[in-house]
Amino acid sequence: MNHYPASIRKVINHLNKLPGIGLKTAERLAMHLLSAPESEVFELSRSIGELKKTIRLCSQCFALSDSGLCRICGNPSRDNTLICVVENQADMVAIEKSGAFTGVYHILHGLLSPMDNIGPDDIRIKELLSRIGQGNIREVVIATPTNVEGEATASYLSDCLVRFNITITRIASGVPMGGELKYVDQVTLKKAMEARHAI
């Protein structure tokens, strides 16, 4: 690292802090930036610098947004009576990419995890309950992950939601599409077998 001038070392150090960017990759990226067009490097720097300044949370669903209401909550063609509860923005984007959901979202920004001292007050559960309490909600799809924390959160949520007169659903578990059965773990296979349906 001492073989680079200070300003290159600085870029390498900061790139190296990003997830999945090791020292070698950081060096390669810094070298690329040095030979890249000035405008491209400037735009990269500026877009990163402005990221935190312009991003806020949607006042309704807590998705990342650059205005008061996110594009989904602000879209009149989305079904406002159907809420999908997800752990984070990335999971929301994954569902959006599937194109299978026409309702709106609620981003918890975390999962219940007693081991990490994360309780119901640390994630956006209160906000979800008050949102449902305002009425006009028909169904809540709980799409938290299928790991321990995700299942615990789903179970806690369904207990909280039972007092409302709404349908509570959980996304299905089973064998991933295109997957060979011999490579699928036992728990998933068990779930898939239990949830078998007539064809």
Residues found near a copy of itself in the complex (CB under 8 A): 3-8, 10-11, 13-15, 17-21, 25, 27-34, 38, 40-52, 54-55, 64-67, 70-71, 88-90, 92-93, 96-97
Residue with Cβ nearer a copy of itself (74 or 174): 74
Sheet holding 103-107, edge to edge: 103-107, 79-86, 139-142, 167-170
Bridge-based pairing state of the strands 79-86 and 64-65 = unpaired
Q: How far is the CB of 198 from a copy of itself (least distance, A)?
A: 35
Long-range contacts formed by 101-104: CB under 8 A, 24+ apart? 101/141, 102/78, 103/78, 103/79, 103/139, 103/141, 104/60, 104/61, 104/72, 104/73, 104/78, 104/79, 104/80
Q: How far is the CB of 68 from a copy of itself (least distance, A)?
A: 12
Residue with Cβ nearer a copy of itself (14 or 190): 14
Residue with Cβ nearer a copy of itself (88 or 144): 88
Interatomic CA distance for residues 136 and 96, integer angstroms: 22
Asked if 107 contacts 89 with a C-beta cutoff of 8 angstroms, the reply is yes
Residue with Cβ nearer a copy of itself (28 or 170): 28
Q: How far is the CB of 16 from a copy of itself (least distance, A)?
A: 10
Residue with Cβ nearer a copy of itself (44 or 162): 44
Q: How far is the CB of 53 from a copy of itself (least distance, A)?
A: 8
Interatomic CA distance for residues 31 and 47, integer angstroms: 20
Q: How far is the CB of 52 from a copy of itself (least distance, A)?
A: 6
